[in-house]
Chains A and B, each alone.
Chain A
């Protein structure tokens, strides 16, 4: 098992490097100089522009910058400097990662709970209006662009009803709250963005569970058990759900990268100070160090997500053999 884990994780390293190289090439082959975006509308004479470029090392050729970056990473574990945040990249990521993990984690809890519960409930009420409602809702939620959903959510629940704050992670005065108060404040700010982020996955999960359970409930031995008088409830929760759990776990693991990707849009809409925001700002300001680091991290999440999914599957059902590749 350990060997299998190590082997899978070992694949992650060249993958991350491959991602970083791809991104670096993309960033380098684009036209223009990174300084232009920053200077914007201010008339700046050429010598000053050159001075700025020199100060940030933009005047060195691309391969040299790549080698330097790679060397710093492998030899010293350094990720470089973020000029858009004026701090080391590692610190910028260290500050942005926890909020995204919190957001993605909550979104995952939300979509698992909502997805499984609603999926099971609708499967139990097969053929009735509840099933159709859930199917409809899930289709709609899946098809709504996340940012649009976010904007509607803000307009409705934040402005119209005033139930939740429109953005950010905490209240302006959060530092002066008690520990319990801060936790509550955090939860309060978490509701809308997590719900929006998890909505599409919840929809997918709902349909999955619904389909899986319906399939399981249609199996011959279930019909036989029902004929023998075994209660519906026991069949539902005892058998059908357990059979449906397997692909659910698989889906959950595979949803991790979706959450990371979706966080870009949701974090921008809700001004959530996480990795998605960081990446978006970094891409627009050509902050190479940050873009490289965040895409590598995203790649790592994908690998981890796949790995977790496979492991969970193998644990839940010993008949499933662990695959050697990352995906079939």
Chain B
């Protein structure tokens, strides 16, 4: 009797396995022939892991929210395809034209004739009001540092506004246009102290193509078309719905089954299987970022540049690109993201050379294999849990370093625990990354004065020559004069390898074939052409 029961238990247990082993694909919808001209109307359903935390970009600290808010509150000028944050790569948005002054201390913007979605004109008062909000101490804006050099924003007339700067420097334009312009007649009604507690969905006004209409937290967001958007005929979509699902595999399942139309960030390995049967379009795009290993510059042996170079050479970064992100990315070269205008295209990454690495380790007295003389290097490598690519990277890097005799114990930690340990100097190395949108400030990352607790130079990297170069850079008065200094800075930092620059990953969006007009050409702003999307 018992045997029979356990045989049936066995069968029950094996049932799920049998179900999956027997293929069974869903019917693949026919991809329709692309229609040449855009059609108005329709709803786009986007899937997102994260929810919007606040409908005010100066309160929100969340990237996905910013992607949406850029389509609601426009900036004076929008980034256009091209290198990150160079003035040539900005296109007119709320401002039609702009002129720098002779003395290099101000920029004058002429606003286009446009109205808010409620019919009020978008004028210079809004620009000045926005600046006051951005610089208010009650408003916890992440990018507040960009306005540090702006002395005043002067209203010359209804549609002309002038930004006054403390001194002449090349980034003036970029700093001036940072941040969406807010409507004074709506946002001005709430005192700045109450901004972070206020529900900004009630603002119900926009200058961009879409207005937020409904927000059910943790569930769904709806944005509707702004009829008063200045580009005639756009946006084509009537409605954009964002489905909030905190699980990426659930989202990809929904994409396959057609419950959602668009995902702006799919796991790299899913790109192959999602795109393989032709039922979905895969769109890889540049996303100015890189992942790195930060070595604790205050702790031996990681305070030795040659050691750090050896450890970098021991890591097969091309294999990381191939295996972690399915080849969608490039090996990290240096401290600047490749999408940035100031990145040095001639800078080569350190080669993958475990033999040389072993040589250096042996010379420093470490054993690089079982049975060799010398002490074994033990170290702990941390990263922030929840980032799948990084957690997997830890496992691979552990294996790579084991081949040169380094014993790595890996520890994914909660973000704030990891940050706490790293900032207090209690770590060997950590695997992290930076995402750059807008200004790339190398000084804030690599200047010795920016060591914790003052700044972002978390590994306490200090090279007086580099500091001197940064000082020169700060005094530079033109883009052209900045370029050679930047090249030198990058070369020196790459030589010192305070971080092992691992890889720069692309991101991948995927969408149903019924969604047309999809183009993602601005690094770090995947929804930048949302106004151009349409449903066939």
Contacts and interface: CB of A to CB of B under 8 A. Distances in A.
10 contacts: A32-B416, A32-B418, A34-B416, A48-B142, A85-B51, A85-B53, A166-B250, A166-B257, A175-B214, A271-B247
B9 A140 contact: yes
Contact of B441 (A43, A84, A156, A270): A43
Given A136-B8, A169-B219, A271-B250, A160 B416 contact: no
Given A33-B416, A36-B419, A42-B435, A168 B220 contact: yes
B45 interface: yes
Contact of B246 (A56, A95, A162, A271): A271
Contacts of B435: 41-42
Contact of B8 (A42, A44, A133, A172): A133
Interface of A: 30-34, 36-48, 51-52, 54-56, 81, 83-87, 92, 95-96, 132-133, 135-137, 139-140, 151-152, 154-156, 158-160, 162, 165-170, 172-173, 175, 268-271, 273, 277-278, 280-281, 284, 286
Given A32-B417, A168-B220, A269-B247, A84 B26 contact: no
B453 A51 contact: no
Given A32-B417, A52-B140, A277-B218, A43 B8 contact: no
Given A31-B416, A32-B419, A159 B26 contact: yes
Contacts of B289: 41
B59 A44 contact: no
A95 B142 CA distance: 29
A167 to B, nearest CB: 5
Closest 9 CB pairs of A and B: A32-B416, A32-B420, A36-B419, A271-B245, A273-B218, A55-B140, A52-B140, A36-B416, A86-B54
Interface string B1-24: 000110011001100100110001
A85 B196 CA distance: 11
A47 B247 contact: no
Contact of B59 (A33, A86, A139, A159): A86
A274 B45 CA distance: 22
Given A32-B420, A36-B420, A46 B250 contact: no
Contacts of B216: 95, 273
B243 A168 contact: yes
Contact of B16 (A41, A83, A152, A168): A152
A52 B53 contact: no
A162 B61 CA distance: 37
Nearest to B261: A172
A219 B420 CA distance: 65
A137 B216 CA distance: 38
B138 interface: yes
B244 A271 contact: yes
Interface of B: 4-5, 8-9, 12-13, 16, 19-20, 24, 26, 43, 45, 51, 53-55, 59, 61-63, 137-145, 196-197, 199-200, 214, 216-220, 241, 243-247, 249-250, 253-254, 256-257, 259, 289, 386, 414-421, 432-436, 441, 444-445, 450, 453-456
Nearest to A149: B16
Contacts of B24: 160
Given A45-B455, A268-B247, 12 more contacts: A33-B420, A36-B416, A36-B419, A38-B62, A44-B142, A46-B455, A48-B140, A81-B197, A136-B5, A172-B45, A271-B250, A284-B414
A84 B53 contact: yes
A54 B12 CA distance: 57
B142 A156 contact: no
Contact of B218 (A56, A172, A175, A281): A281
A39 B61 contact: yes
B217 A87 contact: yes
B444 A167 contact: no
A85 B9 CA distance: 46
A270 B218 CA distance: 12
A146 to B, nearest CB: 14
B511 to A, nearest CB: 15
Interface centre among A38, A41, A51, A84 (most CB of B within 10 A): A41
Contacts of A34: 416
Contacts of A45: 145, 444, 450, 455-456
Contact of A154 (B16, B141, B253, B441): B253
A281 B246 contact: yes
Contacts of B218: 85, 96, 271, 273, 277-278, 281
Contacts of B59: 86
Given A87-B199, A95-B216, A155-B253, A43 B434 contact: yes
A165 B454 contact: no
Contacts of B53: 83-86
B246 A277 contact: yes
Nearest to B198: A86
B141 A36 contact: no
A136 B12 contact: yes
Contact of A31 (B256, B420, B455): B420
Given A43-B456, A273-B218, A277-B218, A51 B54 contact: no
Contacts of B138: 55
Contacts of B19: 156, 160
B55 to A, nearest CB: 8
B7 to A, nearest CB: 11
A14 to B, nearest CB: 31
B319 to A, nearest CB: 23
Contact of B196 (A46, A56, A271): A56
A311 to B, nearest CB: 34
B140 A158 contact: no
Given A32-B417, A43-B434, A46-B453, A140 B26 contact: no
A172 B9 contact: no
Contacts of B432: 41
B419 to A, nearest CB: 4
Interface centre among B43, B200, B246, B418 (most CB of A within 10 A): B246
A52 to B, nearest CB: 4
Given A36-B419, A166-B257, A172 B61 contact: no
Contacts of B243: 167-168, 172, 271
Interface centre among B218, B253, B259 (most CB of A within 10 A): B218
